[in-house]
Amino acid sequence: VSKQTIGMFFTGLSIPQGAVITNAYIEFIAKEQQPDITDLAFYAQAADNPATFTSTSGNISSRPKTVSSTYWSNIEVWTVGTKYITPDLSSVVQEVVNRPGWASGYAMVFIVTGTGHRTAYSYDGGAALVREPKLVVTYTSVSNTPTPTSIPTITPTIIPTNTPVAPSSPPGVTPQVMI
């Protein structure tokens, strides 16, 4: 089993600079089922507002990674259509929002490395809006009020409320609130 690197790009994250991240994870919907033993490491790109992905070789793997990471080891075999949630990514997200140049509304890139094989639905510029990966972050800011939010990969937006909010949608698509 060869080592792989993939990236996920979440845009428009309304997390204030210096917010205290109390919980963070990514939700995936399984697209395929593979029996391979799978171990993954999740990092964020160590950047204030990372650039979008390009087709250039090494575009994801050459990006600087956070010192913090979260490991997801011996991942169970996935069942097609079932939701799976990463372990807590709070330390990874915290490292990014603590950067002096981070500002609410910026993007965040997750870089995932590892071995094995798990296939989830992705946005890829037009996948079904209900199956793309979602970044869910709960944080406290000056008011110390926890703020859970569900963020799809297409144009995620975190809004400080207790209700998960759908992102901006491509033209002709009506956003839906995810609960």
Confidence at residue 162, expressed as pLDDT on a 0 to 100 scale: 37
Confidence at residue 144, expressed as pLDDT on a 0 to 100 scale: 52
- Report how many helices (DSSP H) and strands (DSSP E) the chain contains, helices first: 1, 8
Q: What torsion do the CA atoms of 29, 31, 32, 35 make, to the nearest 10 degrees?
A: -20
Cβ neighbours, 10 Å, residue 146: 14
At position 140, the amino acid (one-letter code) is: T
pLDDT tens figures, 35-76: 899 999 999 999 999 999 999 999 999 999 999 999 999 999
Please provide the average confidence, as pLDDT, over all residues in the chain: 81
pLDDT tens figures, 136-164: 999 998 555 555 555 544 434 333 333 33
State whether the Cα torsion 59-39-92-133 is positive or negative. positive
d(CA 73, CA 96): 23
Confidence at residue 132, expressed as pLDDT on a 0 to 100 scale: 84
Confidence at residue 141, expressed as pLDDT on a 0 to 100 scale: 84
Which residue carries 């209900």 as its tokens?
130
Q: Which tokens is 156 given? A: 């995620």
Q: Which tokens is 114 given? A: 């590892």
Confidence at residue 11, expressed as pLDDT on a 0 to 100 scale: 92
Confidence at residue 171, expressed as pLDDT on a 0 to 100 scale: 35
Q: Which tokens is 70 given? A: 């979260």
Q: Is the pLDDT of residue 77 over 70?
A: yes
Task: State percent of the chain over pLDDT 90.
Answer: 65
pLDDT tens figures, 111-128: 999 999 998 888 765 555
Q: Is the pLDDT of residue 83 over 70?
A: yes
d(CA 53, CA 110): 11
Q: What is the mean pLDDT of residues 77-85?
A: 93
Q: What is the mean pLDDT of residues 161-170?
A: 35
